[in-house]
């Protein structure tokens, strides 16, 4: 069964005429005949979770908007897709932008918002253009602007391009950037639903989350919930990359077993290779060993297993991959993307980057695995936003579960005259 991905292979699927031929914009017409609270109730019943990574129930988030607040309300769509291993939102914006717009219209009607910002990562130049063209088509057809589908409900949708900062995928950093401030995370509370964009009530939802809203309206909340697993309603897009024969984006029910995704949908591993490790939810999710992949891919099951579903970016490693080098790539990314506001994250990620770079350059020390674990554990819980944990959890997972590989690498690659300070490789990283 396909919902948000059903038009991906249709020629010119990004155009209004093609979208309407497949039943597009029928759900917003239905929603406009419903009371806004009824829509929120259906989304709550659907068990639709935040599919950007946090997994917070979308309907509950909408219900947090303060009653009786005279300030305007805003809807912000988080299209700042920057999690390594994740490319699902890119597909939606490329191949079905009108589905996203229909979801925006329904959500805006439900929360009484007349302005929506789509905050898109700066590298998505093509997708920003496609969205702007889709908005122009919808306006020309009278679907957006002063009225939507003849309803006395004005709605403007604005595409705002970011400047390439991973930290702006975090909702409060995104809001600061949207306001023209430095993209630094804010302390919470207050939460954006109470004080968000310009200190007004704001709902921030991911592209994929909003794109499933029309299907909640079409199917009904209960039927949508039944498509997935307990407390994890509907389907979702799984991005599969790494050592598989058929990397790609697969739409499957929430709770589909990880083994099934890798060996059936993604075609398994290259011939002669064996599975070594899997990152199940984007690079910030703790790694799983080959013995741990018989697990449902939903938020609750992975949390119980000590990992995260996150953005559902599945990265597969076979026995040809050096996990020390793989972790070095991740640490380098997070050290580069740390915004620098919090001392533990700023200094800790940089420290871990230097240690792993020294290890790669033959200057590893027996104490380095323990040092990496100590640094990572001292970052967790001590930063304003989740980037500190996003940087630490992969380190803890890799070093703990594959410690023997790290120790062997240090022992066999150590140079006799290894420098005690940051080396050439460290400088490069």
Query: Are residues 332 and 369 in contact, defined by beta-carbon separation less than 8 angstroms?
Result: no
Q: How confident is the model at residue 417 (pLDDT cuts 50, 70, 90)?
A: low
Long-range contacts of residues 40-43, Cβ cutoff 8 Å, at least 24 apart:
40/110, 40/111, 41/221, 42/216, 42/217, 42/220, 42/221, 43/110, 43/213, 43/216, 43/221
pLDDT at 213: 98
pLDDT in tens, 287-300: 999 999 999 999 99
Hey, what are 353's tokens? 């980057």
**Percentage of the chain exceeding pLDDT 70:** 97
SS percent in the chain: helix, strand, coil, step 5: 45, 15, 40
pLDDT in tens, 260-279: 999 999 999 999 999 999 99
Query: Are residues 376 and 395 in contact, defined by beta-carbon separation less than 8 angstroms?
Result: yes
Q: What is the mean pLDDT of residues 132-146?
A: 97
Q: What is the mean pLDDT of residues 94-109?
A: 98
Query: Are residues 174 and 204 in contact, defined by beta-carbon separation less than 8 angstroms?
Result: yes
Q: What is the mean pLDDT of residues 207-220?
A: 98
The overall average pLDDT reported for the chain is: 95
Q: Is the pLDDT of residue 425 over 90?
A: no
> What are φ and ψ of residue 88, in 5° steps?
-70, -45
Question: Under 8 Å CB-to-CB from 99, ≥6 apart: which residues?
Answer: 4, 7, 19, 24, 92, 211, 214
Q: Is the pLDDT of residue 207 over 50?
A: yes
Q: How confident is the model at residue 427 (pLDDT cuts 50, 70, 90)?
A: very low
pLDDT at 421: 42
pLDDT in tens, 50-74: 999 889 999 999 999 999 899 999 9
Range of weakest confidence among 85-94, 367-376, 388-397, 420-429: 420-429
pLDDT in tens, 278-326: 999 999 999 999 999 999 999 999 999 999 999 999 999 999 999 999 9
Query: Are residues 46 and 234 in contact, defined by beta-carbon separation less than 8 angstroms?
Result: yes
At 343, is the secondary structure helix, strand, or coil? helix
Q: What is the mean pLDDT of residues 219-223?
A: 98
Query: Are residues 406 and 399 in contact, defined by beta-carbon separation less than 8 angstroms?
Result: yes
Walk me through the domains of the chain, giving residue ranges and CATH numbers: 16-226 (3.40.50.11540), 235-318 (3.10.20.600), 323-428 (1.20.1440.230)
Helices (H), 22-95: 26-31, 36-46, 58-63, 88-95
Question: Under 8 Å CB-to-CB from 279, ≥6 apart: which residues?
Answer: 85, 285, 287, 288, 313, 314, 315, 317, 394
CA dist 330 and 400 (Å) reads 16
Q: What is the mean pLDDT of residues 138-156?
A: 96
Q: Is the pLDDT of residue 22 over 70?
A: yes
Q: What is the mean pLDDT of residues 88-104?
A: 98
CA dist 283 and 393 (Å) reads 9
Q: Give the predicted TM-score (pTM) of the model.
A: 0.94
Closest CA to 320 of 270, 279, 261: 270
CA dist 249 and 335 (Å) reads 28
**Percentage of the chain exceeding pLDDT 90:** 95
Q: How confident is the model at residue 423 (pLDDT cuts 50, 70, 90)?
A: very low
Q: What is the mean pLDDT of residues 215-227?
A: 98
Question: Distances from the Cα of 219 to the Cαs of 143, 224, 229, in angstroms?
Answer: 22, 6, 16
How many other β-carbons are positioned within 10 Å of the β-carbon of residue 180? 6
Hey, what are 14's tokens? 């990004």
For helices 323-337 and 343-358, give the axis angle rounded to 10 degrees. 150
Q: How confident is the model at residue 234 (pLDDT cuts 50, 70, 90)?
A: very high
Strand partners, 275: 318
Hey, what are 54's tokens? 């946090």
Question: Under 8 Å CB-to-CB from 67, ≥6 apart: which residues?
Answer: none
Query: Are residues 255 and 229 in contact, defined by beta-carbon separation less than 8 angstroms?
Result: yes
Strand partners, 77: 118, 205
Q: Is the pLDDT of residue 416 over 70?
A: no
pLDDT at 414: 76
Closest CA to 359 of 324, 330, 399, 320: 324
């Amino acid at each position: 069964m396909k919902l948000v991905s059903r038009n991906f292979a249709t020629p010119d699927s990004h155009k209004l005429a093609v979208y309407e031929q497949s039943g597009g914009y029928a759900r917003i017409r239905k929603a406009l005949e419903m009371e806004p609270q009824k829509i929120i109730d259906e989304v709550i019943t659907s068990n639709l979770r935040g599919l950007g990574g946090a997994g917070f129930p979308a309907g509950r988030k909408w219900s947090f908007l303060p009653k009786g607040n005279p300030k305007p309300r805003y809807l912000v769509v988080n299209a700042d897709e920057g999690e390594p291993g994740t490319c699902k939102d890119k597909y939606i914006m490329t191949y079905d932008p009108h589905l996203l717009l229909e979801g925006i219209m329904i959500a805006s009607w439900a929360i009484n918002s007349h302005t929506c910002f789509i905050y898109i990562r700066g590298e998505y130049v093509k997708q920003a253009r496609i969205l702007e063209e889709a908005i122009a088509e919808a306006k020309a057809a009278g679907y957006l602007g002063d009225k939507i589908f003849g309803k006395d409900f004005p709605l403007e949708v604005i595409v705002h391009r970011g400047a390439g900062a991973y930290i702006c995928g975090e909702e409060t950093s995104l809001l600061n950037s949207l306001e023209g401030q430095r993209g630094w995370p804010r302390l919470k509370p207050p939460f954006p639903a109470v004080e968000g964009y310009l200190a007004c009530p704001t709902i921030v939802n991911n592209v994929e989350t909003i794109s499933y809203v029309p299907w909640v309206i079409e199917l009904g909340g209960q039927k949508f919930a039944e498509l997935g697993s307990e407390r994890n309603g509907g389907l979702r897009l799984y991005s599969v990359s790494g050592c598989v024969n058929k990397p790609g984006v697969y739409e499957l029910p929430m709770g589909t077993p990880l083994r099934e995704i890798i060996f059936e949908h993604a075609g398994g591993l290259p011939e002669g290779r064996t599975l070594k490790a899997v990152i199940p939810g984007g690079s910030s999710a703790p790694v799983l060993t080959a013995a741990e992949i018989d697990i449902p891919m939903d938020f609750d099951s992975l949390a119980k297993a000590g990992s995260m579903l996150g953005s559902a970016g599945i990265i597969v490693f076979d026995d040809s991959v050096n996990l020390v080098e793989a972790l070095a790539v991740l640490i380098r990314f997070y050290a580069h993307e740390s915004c620098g506001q919090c001392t533990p994250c700023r200094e800790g990620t940089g420290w871990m980057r230097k240690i792993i770079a020294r290890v790669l350059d033959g200057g590893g020390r027996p104490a380095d695995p323990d040092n990496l674990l100590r640094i990572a554990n001292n970052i967790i819980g001590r930063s304003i936003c989740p980037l500190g944990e996003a940087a630490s959890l992969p380190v803890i997972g890799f070093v703990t579960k594959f410690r023997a590989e790290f120790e062997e690498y240090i022992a066999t690659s150590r140079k006799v005259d290894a420098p005690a300070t940051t080396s050439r490789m460290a400088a490069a990283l």
